[in-house]
Chains A and B, each alone.
Chain A
Amino acid sequence: MRFSVRLERVPAVVAMIVLTVTVLGPLYWITVSAFKDRQEILLSTPTWFPQTFTLTNFQQLFLSTDYVIYLRNSIIVAVATTVVTLIVSLAAAYSLYRLRVPGSGRIAGIVLVSYMIPGALLIVPLYKTLSGLELIDTFAGLVLVNVAFTAPFCTWLLRGFLLAVPTELDEAAAIDGAGPARTMLRVVMPLMVPGVATVGVYTFIFSWTEFVFASQFIVSDTLKTLPIGLSALVGQYTINWGLVMAGTVLTLAPTVILFILVGRFFVGGLIAGATK
């Protein structure tokens, strides 16, 4: 590697260093803290690397808290939300931006405008609606709400991917005698894999991180998701920081790992969908 020191590059290099530290520094710090023992974590002069590398915090997390239950619940909610959102938004995008049924412009507009109404403002009447449907304190209720707050954005994002699939393919399929449903499932959908991946990652992360609805619409301890469980750890009278750090690391680990695996494709897909 050649290190060329050119004065004009200094500002950019400084900006890169600042950005790297700002973005990755906190994640590094929380991770190393989780592996420190009780004394080291509270040292008044912080250590940059764990001197007392220990797994006690994680051990305690699994033994003395309901972390495993929260983890299971989060996986159920995130996977269910992702699957339902994918089906709903793929279907809607296909109808609105491919088949273009009469009135599709208006329907797309109404869906997007209702998506823009901040959900936090609707939490009170939404609670009432869900309890009327007997969906309070159920995964189904939480998934329904999550889908409503992801599907419109995903439908719009899929639009860009659909437009990239040439319509000649549909016509060719029609000439070959394929009906509209067959054309959709056999011809267009297989070409939508990058779009599906992007929308899937977006939805998974949205529901994995969702806090506000989960905190009000889930009541039972056995149904709580990870963010709620973690906030309960923080809310205790004397915070056990080591335990909180371990809980935090294990809460963000799944999304970070997902990102390391497919992040490149996700970013590419987001850009393709949003700038089309």
Chain B
Amino acid sequence: MTLSTTNRAVRTVGDRLRRPVVRSGMPASTKLLGYALVAPIVIIMAVVIAFPLVSAVTTSLQNQHVIGSPADFVGVDTYAKLLQDDAFWAALGRSGIWLLLNMIVQTLLAFATALLLQRNGWWSTSARTWIMLPWAVPTVAVAVIWQWMLNSNYGVVYKIFAGVGIDLGAPFANGAFSLITVILVNSWHWFPLSAVVIYGALATVPNEVIEAATMDGANAWRSFWAITFPLLQRVLFALGLVGSLWSFNVLDSIYLTTKGGPAGASTTMPVYIYDTAFSAFRSSEAAAASVVTVIVLAIAGMLFFRFGRPKEY
């Protein structure tokens, strides 16, 4: 396989990391137009992301209760209180489990789906479109659908399982199962996006290379690991990074099904912060939790970038 095929096949997000060619002779009018065009997104990101981030740091150093109410500067007291709060650590741990299990379930589903989409025939052709439907369904509808189907009195999925002798109980209300149930529901909602992106990346793998490998006696398993997987690495890396962050960010799927319960059993970090701020009215603690979590995520992101990044980057 030539290097140029590799490059063409797997060029992804990472390209932005390459230094752009700075045209020294750019006319002033073009430069002006360029900065005017990029200004809106920069201003919006400053207002919606950067400014609130700074504001979170200030709030976390105070003892504010209801959002926006007057508060005193207390230094790192809030952090000390937060770091001693078992619920905070439990939520962070649950977010870790959430991230990992969502990743595993969705990657397996997405890969299997992508391989099916690649085949010929009417099923694959039509599925390339309708497979995305769960992603297009509003989360609140996703929550209703699964609560309805798993309802122990009238739910069709519950009945089907009962028919073969398996009692699902009340999966959203059972502390041992609520987190895993929400993970499965959330995966149903999100796996189509990864499936389609992986399918697209698979389509960039040149067929002739696979055929040549098959003729040389490589089986499907071997040619997947030797040819397809390395070519997919860039897409998978980008998907892994963005997908993890999207997944970490999920609040609605959890809130709309279990509200983080029962007894906190499905309270991940976003749910913890939401509840601390809007139900318990401890804004400063919520802000401190946000700051700590952003730092943890930044470190995790950098480690992933350092060690998970494909070599040719």
Q: Which of A's residues lie within 8 Å of B, judged by CB? A: 12, 15-16, 19-20, 22-24, 26-27, 29-30, 33, 41-46, 87-89, 91-92, 94-96, 99-102, 104-105, 107-112, 114-129, 131, 133, 144-145, 147-149, 151-153, 155-156, 159, 179-181, 184, 205, 208-209, 211-212, 216, 226-227, 230-231, 234, 241, 244-245, 248, 251-252, 255-256, 258-260, 263-264, 266-267, 270-272, 274-276
Complex: chain B residue closest to A264, CB-CB: B129
Count A-B contacts at CB 8 Å: 306
Say yes or no: A101 contacts B41, CB within 8 Å.
Answer: no
A-B contact pairs, 8 of them (CB 8 A): A19-B112, A87-B40, A102-B26, A180-B27, A248-B141, A256-B136, A260-B129, A275-B11
Mark each residue of chain B from 147 to 180: 1 if its CB lies under 8 Å from any CB of chain A, else 0: 1110001101001000000000000000000000
Instruction: Count chain A CB atoms within 10 A of each CB in B144, B270, B297 and give the residue with the most.
Output: B144
Q: Is B183 an interface residue (CB 8 A)?
A: no
Say yes or no: A114 contacts B149, CB within 8 Å.
Answer: no
Q: How far is the CB of A77 from chain B (nearest CB, A)?
A: 13
Option from B16, B31, B203, B251 in Cβ contact (under 8 Å) with A102: B31
Say yes or no: A275 contacts B204, CB within 8 Å.
Answer: yes
Report B-chain residues with C-beta under 8 Å of the C-beta of A181.
33
Report A-chain residues with C-beta under 8 Å of the C-beta of B16.
105, 108-109, 112, 156, 159
Say yes or no: B269 contacts A23, CB within 8 Å.
Answer: no
Say yes or no: B201 contacts A101, CB within 8 Å.
Answer: no
Report B-chain residues with C-beta under 8 Å of the C-beta of A102.
22, 26, 31
Complex: chain A residue closest to B31, CB-CB: A101
Mark each residue of chain B from 197 to 235: 1 if its CB lies under 8 Å from any CB of chain A, else 0: 101110110000000000000000000000000000001
Complex: chain B residue closest to A27, CB-CB: B133
Complex: chain B residue closest to A15, CB-CB: B116
Of residues 237 to 296 in B, which have CB atoms within 8 Å of A's CB atoms?
238, 241-242, 245, 248-252, 255-256, 269-270, 273-274, 277-278, 283, 286-287, 290, 293-294
